[in-house]
């Protein structure tokens, strides 16, 4: 075999391997992280170069578009904004009836959800029992939400995290069916962890030398689940369903989109996320 590309980064190597595999070209990858070498059979070299050049020509944005997008600091701001949103909501609830009232009307009551009040799967994510519960979820959401947005973009990331949390609450309701009430953003936080597990697993599988590491992110996620699911009032099943839901949405993203869409799609997804939250609270 002849060396087609050398000294490739992890991302560039992933891209080359995907293009070559989709074109049915036999390849071999060697090296180590951020220093990969991709080789092909001598008779396939011209075809391989043509396929890769065609891919980048069709998918790479113009420099001006990339510069405009890179100047938008939504990745960090979205995570911090989500955490501050939880704080603002908590203050509002405390001053307008108290947390028990909002938990009764908007918490993830299993029987109410199964009786058609599915909006509770969303609103329950924004209700917290006390300041300690709130602070823990604010810190976790700011961290993991920011990382998800760096992987999927601020709009798609926001939608997937919210959808993971809501689906996790719904699956929990299906399991308990009655006599169960859950509140807090931790289900969505574990949804974000599940999204990141899916991303890291797919990234490892795309580089043959790293496939043996593909299951490590799942192990790390389960360790986090055990570490942060201790306590008398912790709903470990909601956390588990949130984690699983996040992995589902993460796999869908990796299979369908593979990379963050452009600004227009991100704004659309972010607007949809805000609309779902608003409509859920308005019932």
Question: How does pLDDT run across 215-257, given as a tens digit for each residue?
Answer: 555 555 556 655 555 554 567 888 889 999 999 999 999 999 8
Angle at 36 between CA 35 and CA 41, to 5 degrees: 150
Neighbours of 68 (CB within 10 A): 12
What residues are paired with 35 via a beta bridge? 32
The CATH number of whichever domain residue 226 belongs to comes to 1.20.1540.10
Domain-embedded: residue 24: yes
128 and 175 belong to one structural domain: yes
153 and 236 belong to one structural domain: yes
Question: Which one has a higher pLDDT value, 227 or 154?
Answer: 154
86 and 210 belong to one structural domain: yes
Residue environment code for 119-158, b if the CB has 16+ CB neighbours within 10 A, otherwise e? bbbbbbbbbbeeeebbebbbebbbebbbbbbbbbbbbbbb
In sequence order, which ranges of the chain are alpha helices (DSSP H)? 10-22, 45-59, 63-70, 74-95, 99-106, 110-114, 120-123, 131-152, 154-176, 186-205, 216-227, 236-256, 263-282
For residue 171, give its domain range: 75-282
Answer yes or no: is pLDDT of 67 > 60: no
Cα distance between residue 83 and residue 185, in whole Å: 10
pTM, full prediction = 0.70
Boundary (domain end) residue, out of 10, 25, 60: 60
Cα distance between residue 205 and residue 154, in whole Å: 25
């Amino acid at each position: 075999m002849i060396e087609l590309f050398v000294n490739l980064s992890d991302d560039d190597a992933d891209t080359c391997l995907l293009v070559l595999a989709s074109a049915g070209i036999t390849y071999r990858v060697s090296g180590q992280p951020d220093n990969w070498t991709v080789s092909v059979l001598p008779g396939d070299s011209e075809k391989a170069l043509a396929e890769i050049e065609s891919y980048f020509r069709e998918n790479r944005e113009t420099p001006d578009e990339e510069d405009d997008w890179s100047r938008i600091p939504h990745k960090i701001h979205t995570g911090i904004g989500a955490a501050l949103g939880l704080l603002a909501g908590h203050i509002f609830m405390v001053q307008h009836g108290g947390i028990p009232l909002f938990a009764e009307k908007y918490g993830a009551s299993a029987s109410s959800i199964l009786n058609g009040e599915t909006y509770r799967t969303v609103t329950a994510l924004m209700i917290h029992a006390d300041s300690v519960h709130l602070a823990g979820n604010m810190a976790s959401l700011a961290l993991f939400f920011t990382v998800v947005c760096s992987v999927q973009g601020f709009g798609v990331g926001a939608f997937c995290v919210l959808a993971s949390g809501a689906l996790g609450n719904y699956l929990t309701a299906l399991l308990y069916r009655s006599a169960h009430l859950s509140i807090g953003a931790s289900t969505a936080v574990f949804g974000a962890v599940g999204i990141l597990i899916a991303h890291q697993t797919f990234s490892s599988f795309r580089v043959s030398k790293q496939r043996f590491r593909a299951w490590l992110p799942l192990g790390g996620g389960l360790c986090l689940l055990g570490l942060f699911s201790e306590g008398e009032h912790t709903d470990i099943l909601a956390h588990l369903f949130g984690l699983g839901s996040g992995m589902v949405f993460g796999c869908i993203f990796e299979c369908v989109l593979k990379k963050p869409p452009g600004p227009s799609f991100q704004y659309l997804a972010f607007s949809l996320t805000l609309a779902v939250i608003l409509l859920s609270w308005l019932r």
